[in-house]
Amino acid sequence: MRDATVIGGGPSGLAAAVWLAEKGYDVAVVEVMGELGGMLTQCIHDGFGTRVFGEALSGPEFSERLVKKARLLGLRTFLNTYVKEVRIGKEFKEVVAVSPAGVQRLQTRVIVYAIGCRERNGFEIRLGGARPAGVYTAGMVQRLVNLYGVLPGRRIVIMGGGDVGMIVARHLHLEGVESILMVFPEAGFAGLPRNVQQCILDFGIPFRPRTVVKKVIGKERVEGVVLTRVDEKWNPVEGTEEFHACDTVVLALGLVPYTGELKLGVRMDPATRGPEVNEFFETSVQGVFAVGNLVQVFDYVDDAFETACIAARGVEKYLNSGLKTAPIRLSPGENVRMLTPQRVEWVDDADVPVFLRPAVEKANVRIVVRNREGRVLGGFFKRYVRPSTLERIEVPRSMLSNLQEVSIDIAED
Ligand SMILES: Cc1cc2nc3c(=O)[nH]c(=O)nc-3n(C[C@H](O)[C@H](O)[C@H](O)COP(=O)(O)OP(=O)(O)OC[C@H]3O[C@@H](n4cnc5c(N)ncnc54)[C@H](O)[C@@H]3O)c2cc1C
């Protein structure tokens, strides 16, 4: 029986597997696609790995470094293999997977889920109108353009002003499409300021805030969209509808942890929309860990990578019968939309990294840790916070001792 089986061969899964293999643990990676690297194989722009490798790499370069390490270590990988079921027994766990070779049953002491996130689709925002050809998710466009050299269309409307939408807009512009229009319901772009400058403003790509696509028009192929302005609550403003001719609609509506693929009853967090985890990224099922974008959507792959390394330490503790205490619950307080981990429970000396998404945009604030009674236990000064940038603090373990519950909020400094 193996020590650990990692489900998902993206950067997080590979990082966890490599960490464990380097320590001599018997570990395997199961990946549904025909190659390792996950989403990064199609992200050919640079900016990945500044923290992990100290260089700004493209997505494929980042994943190639991990794949090389995996090969050198002789890591066992199952490609084109889809995990269909996971069984949790008393003595061991079983991963049931299907591949062209048939059904595989892998017995393992630990499972690390690293299956990433998925894109929100048109049904989730009740996109109206017809269903012609020419409506794509941004990820699919990225794949078509960057991996297969195929342009999805010539006159493009992109719905959504987040990072993925901006990056895809720049690629399409550089590939020479005739026109691009970005529309989004917020008053400003929802992604990183760096991407607003480098992807949109530097290339003069047109965009319309407080605007959404109400309807897609077209029989066989997209012929246009009906745009409408929206108010600050995103309600359509009457009388502002207008037809805009285009042949392609790109949905860049945000990413959501891919939890539909979790094949066992782990406790979920409605705020992150991922599984609830402890400080070593173990889910509510003992010996089942979750890492990377499956846990919460991280802005940078470097953060997803870090969760995998933390989880690998947790796997090691689990395999060596590390001790746990009564859990201390961590919950988002005022001005914090979500945070990870949601509980702290291992006996350990290390400080606890906490990743949190601000709900507000503010300068000169303090991220404050409070006990159940609201007493401040400690604070971390931040020059500027905004919802598009995930924050990371390290909570000293001593700050949490003898507590059952803490909340973390963002307050004026
Ligand atoms: C469209 C899109 C564009 C993105 N662009 C950027 C960007 O420009 N910059 C950036 O920093 N981040 C970007 N991201 C985020 C990016 O996903 C992460 O930075 C990084 O890839 C997260 O790594 P991961 O290993 O957690 O997930 P992933 O890279 O998504 O890897 C998950 C792996 O699990 C596999 N898998 C899923 N289900 C199963 C199953 N049942 N059985 C076996 N294998 C399975 C998948 O095939 C995949 O290889 C983008 C994400 C998407 C969806």
Q: Which residues line ligand 1 (CB under 6 A)?
A: 7-13, 30-33, 38-40, 43, 48, 82-83, 114-117, 119, 138-139, 142, 164, 167, 255, 261, 292-293, 300-301, 304
CATH of the domain at 96: 3.50.50.60
Q: Name the domain boundary from 322, 350, 379.
A: 322
Q: What is the pLDDT of residue 47?
A: 86
Same domain, 241 and 272: no
Contact 198, 206 (CB under 8 A): no
pLDDT value at position 263?
Answer: 66
Nearest CA to ligand 1 atom 20: 301
How many CA atoms does the CB half-sphere of 370 hold within 13 Å? 17
Q: What is the pLDDT of residue 412?
A: 87
Residues 249 and 273 in one domain: no
The whole-angstrom separation of Cα 344 and Cα 348 is 10
Edge-to-edge strand list for the sheet holding 128-129: 128-129, 211-217, 224-229, 242-245
Residues 396 and 301 in one domain: no
**214 and 131 both lie in a single domain:** yes
State pTM to two decimals: 0.93
How far is Cα 348 from Cα 354, in angstroms, rounded to an integer? 16
Q: In the chain, how many domains are there?
A: 3
Together in a domain, 133 and 242: yes
For the chain, the straight-line distance linking the first and the last C-alpha, in angstroms and rounded, comes to 53
Contacts of 348 (CB under 8 A, 6+ apart): 279, 280, 317, 322, 397
Helix (H) or strand (E) holding 306: helix 301-319
Same domain, 96 and 4: yes
- Looking from the CA of residue 118, the nearest atom of ligand 1 is 53
Same domain, 129 and 235: yes
Last residue of a domain, one of 236, 253, 270: 253
Pocket test for ligand 1, best of 103, 115, 120, 137 (most atoms within 8 A of CB): 115
DSSP 242-305: EEEE-SEEEE---EEE-GGG--S---EETTTTEE--BTT-B-SSTTEEE-GGGTS--SSHHHHH
Domain ends where: 235, 253, 271? 253
The answer on 278 and 158 residing in a single domain is: no
Averages of pLDDT over runs of 10 residues in the chain (413 residues) are 97 98 97 95 91 93 96 96 93 94 96 96 88 96 94 97 95 96 96 93 98 96 97 95 98 93 86 96 97 94 96 97 93 97 95 96 96 94 93 95 94 87
Within 10 Å of residue 407's Cβ, how many Cβ atoms? 18
CB 367: neighbour CB atoms within 10 A? Answer: 24
Query: Are residue 247 and residue 259 in the same domain, yes or no?
Result: no
246: containing domain: 121-253
- Is there a single domain that holds both residue 134 and residue 231? yes
